[in-house]
Amino acid sequence: ACKQFPTGPIETTECDFETIESVTETLYNELHSLVDTPFFKFFRVDLYRDCPFWPDNGLCMNRECGITTVDESEIPKRWRAAELSKVEMPEGDQRTALPGCYYRDSDYCFLDDLTEGDYIDLSLNPERFTGYAGPSAHRVWKAIYEENCFGMSELGLLSSSSPNPGLVSLPDSMTGALRADGTESSKECLERRVYYKVISGLHASISTHLCYEELNQTTGEWGPNLQCFISRVAAYPERLQYIYFDAVLVLRAVARLGPYLSAYDYCATGTHDDDSETHARLSKVIDLASRVGRFDETVLFRGENANVLKAEFKEHFRNVTRIMDCVGCDRCRLWGKVQTTGIATALKVLFELDTVALDPKSNANLLQRSEVVALINVLHRLVESLHMVQHFRRMWAETGVEE
């Protein structure tokens, strides 16, 4: 699995592995520069909300779990919370509010309401090995996979009956859930499969990052650990395939958002110099996304129970974004939030917004700044994982071991 490239169509998309491979390096270089620009590197997030699902989330005390925050004075004025809240809370906006966060009906995630939180420079806090592991990390992953249980509305477990408004409760045993190994315990539907792939691909991407930038505890040096990558990702070819799947899904969302992203104001200083550089890079990304992001969102949520299924899909993914508050390591939680918000934004773009809604003229405030930042950053993470996979393949080839 480490040596062989996956070939042929990427299941449930209209794209193949070779097509994505052919643009990975160009895409990676553009995205890598893009996420270093002022607009995309500052992310405002509330990392210290209580875990709504269980009381103790076992905080990781490793040095690598820590993050550094940025003082508000370093943030361009127009992106500070006070300024953003003026434009991002239009009158008549229908939202369900919880302490410190909210969601609108079309959202696949909970969004911070800008009253609390810190500014983080993502480029100074890379996603990498932190040492966060054991029961706390497993509990979070388990809860995320268990969200893949649809058909719950009939059991009365959806938010209307939940003690936490907007949250689906997490019972210990869930009948009909897709197990963490991807096998089915009951009838399968396409939407469930897609849900599982999204999560498993994200999980595999995180694993790839932490294996690529791993701290050797003996030598104190950082570097790629091939064995780590083999045992967590490459030994399960489908996990690797799901990273491609996620990349195609997010690329499709970026392609659909092309006109909106092109019209967006990324200006940090008022001189427009940084704005034009950001626009130039972004337009290359949008161009590539339009060529290769061939995910067909219209095949999902069709048929008799389409609306119920979609409501559940959305609600469950929203739960995943809340489960991030249970991650017991600040840096992992930060990247968990960035990436789940980014994927949630992609899902919203694919499944909730038609071309009229996506029109920047009629809907200039369609997305919040944090959604745009998260979307591009999650795409960068996924494409970076594919770039890292190439490196692991070369390392494997150098070992001279036959498959």
The yes or no reply on residue 328 touching ligand FAD (CB under 6 A) is no
The yes or no reply on residue 137 touching ligand FAD (CB under 6 A) is yes
8 A C-beta contact, residue 383 and residue 24: yes
In the complex with ligand FAD, which residue's Cβ is closer, 34 or 67? 67
Query: Strands, E, within 161-319: which ranges?
Result: 214-215, 222-223
The yes or no reply on residue 206 touching ligand FAD (CB under 6 A) is yes
In the complex with ligand FAD, which residue's Cβ is closer, 327 or 346? 327
In the complex with ligand FAD, which residue's Cβ is closer, 288 or 327? 327
Residue 273: CB atoms within 10 Å: 11
Q: Catalytic residue at 228?
A: no
φ and ψ at residue 149, rounded to 5 degrees = -120, 100
The yes or no reply on residue 200 touching ligand FAD (CB under 6 A) is yes
Give min distance, CB of 191 to ligand FAD, in A.
18
The yes or no reply on residue 138 touching ligand FAD (CB under 6 A) is yes
8 A C-beta contact, residue 338 and residue 72: no
Spot the catalytic one: 65, 149, 326, 329: 329
SS (H, E, C) 52-65: CCCCCCCCCCCHHH
Q: Which two tokens stand for residue 53?
A: 């699902």
The yes or no reply on residue 210 touching ligand FAD (CB under 6 A) is yes
CA 89 to chain centre: 24
- When binding is defined by CB under 6 A, the residue of 336, 376, 382, 392 that contacts ligand FAD is 336
DSSP for 102-148, please give it. Answer: EE-TT-SS-EE-SSS-EEEEGGGS--------SHHHHHHHHHHHHT-
In the complex with ligand FAD, which residue's Cβ is closer, 23 or 226? 226
Give min distance, CB of 66 to ligand FAD, in A.
12
Give min distance, CB of 217 to ligand FAD, in A.
12
8 A C-beta contact, residue 292 and residue 248: yes
The yes or no reply on residue 392 touching ligand FAD (CB under 6 A) is no
H or E, element range at 368: none
Give min distance, CB of 138 to ligand FAD, in A.
5
The yes or no reply on residue 327 touching ligand FAD (CB under 6 A) is yes
User: How many angstroms separate the CA atoms of 280 and 173, rounded?
Assistant: 50
- When binding is defined by CB under 6 A, the residue of 87, 97, 133, 397 that contacts ligand FAD is 133
H or E, element range at 357: none
Give min distance, CB of 392 to ligand FAD, in A.
15
Give min distance, CB of 183 to ligand FAD, in A.
11
Q: Catalytic residue at 332?
A: yes
8 A C-beta contact, residue 82 and residue 152: no
User: How many angstroms separate the CA atoms of 151 and 395, rounded?
Assistant: 44
Binding region for ligand FAD (CB under 6 A): 127, 129-130, 132-133, 137-138, 140-141, 180, 200, 203-204, 206-207, 210, 232, 239, 327, 331-332, 335-336
Q: Which residues are catalytic?
A: 329, 332
